[in-house]
Amino acid sequence: MNIDRSLIEKLKSSRSVIFFTGAGISAESGIPTFRGKDGIWNKLKPEELANFDAFIRNPDMVWEWYNHRKLIIHNSQPNKGHLTIAEMQNHFDEVTVITQNIDNLHSRAGSKNIFELHGNIERNYCVNCKRFYNKELDFSNGVPKCECGGLIRPDVVWFGEYLPDDQFKGSEKASMNTDIFFIVGTSAVVYPAAGLVFTAKQSGAVLVEINLVKTEISSSVDYSFFGEAGTILPNILEAYESSIVS
Ligand code: APR
């Protein structure tokens, strides 16, 4: 695969690199995406599974679904895409991951500096007192309850909910101070997360998109790579590495 020389030159003069990722980067690990062919939302209704009222109405059903997703995630491994991003930490002063994924695979791949915009499926908290329960939950008596009597929910951001303030503010600040902003495996239709693309662009960052197909933001990026992230990211790193030794 031919990687545009000018992108390699930009990488060579970069101090800070951001990877803004979506479900597409975990697709090659066997975790289904949300939209597009075989997307979860083609089969299931987000309004019945990924919002607070639905949880209160039917916590058993929502938990059944999250426990199913957790099982898939626990049986998955980080793929070459996640691993290459972690590897990039050895080449740049600052590598930041801003992810919409709740699957923990960037952390399992070895990435250190991660903002989780939509939460993490490994964490849970009480809807009443907000106390966290991060150990494996016991469902033998139905949906687990907090000592205060409140229902325990997964620490993921549902439709209509605010993003965690510290994660979003940290992502915005990083996006305003970066040289290169990679957009990997996201349809970039969910806001405010997708807005970070334009925050980075307005701050002068070079935008690089990696996706199987064109997306809502393709016309705004500087470089587009159409294909699998698990193939393209290693190719970009290889081209960069061979340019710094020669
Ligand atoms: N490599 C690169 N891109 C891929 C790959 C792959 N192997 N497989 C799929 N893609 C692309 C698809 O073409 C699509 O554009 O990844 C994108 C996945 O988009 P979505 O399914 O919409 O997922 P995402 O953008 O992460 O969704 C955002 O929506 O449902 C909510 O909270 C959920 O965080 C999620 C948010």
For ligand 1, what atom is nearest to the CA of residue 159? 32
pTM score, whole prediction:
0.97
Pocket flag, ligand 1, residue 102 (CB < 6 Å): no
**Pairing state between β 152-156 and 119-126:** antiparallel
Q: Which residues contact residue 199 at a Cβ distance below 8 angstroms, ignoring those fewer than 6 apart? A: 172, 175, 176
* CB hemisphere CA count around 46 (13 angstroms): 11
180: CA distance to ligand 1 center in Å? 20
pLDDT value at position 165?
98
pLDDT value at position 62?
95
pLDDT value at position 139?
95
- C-alpha Rg value of the chain to the nearest Å: 19
Pocket flag, ligand 1, residue 221 (CB < 6 Å): no
Measured CA distances, 73 to 29, 55, 106, 124, 218 (Å): 9, 21, 12, 16, 29
Give every residue of the chain whose pLDDT is below 70, as ranges.
Answer: 246
To the query of whether residue 118 is one of the catalytic residues in this protein, the response is yes
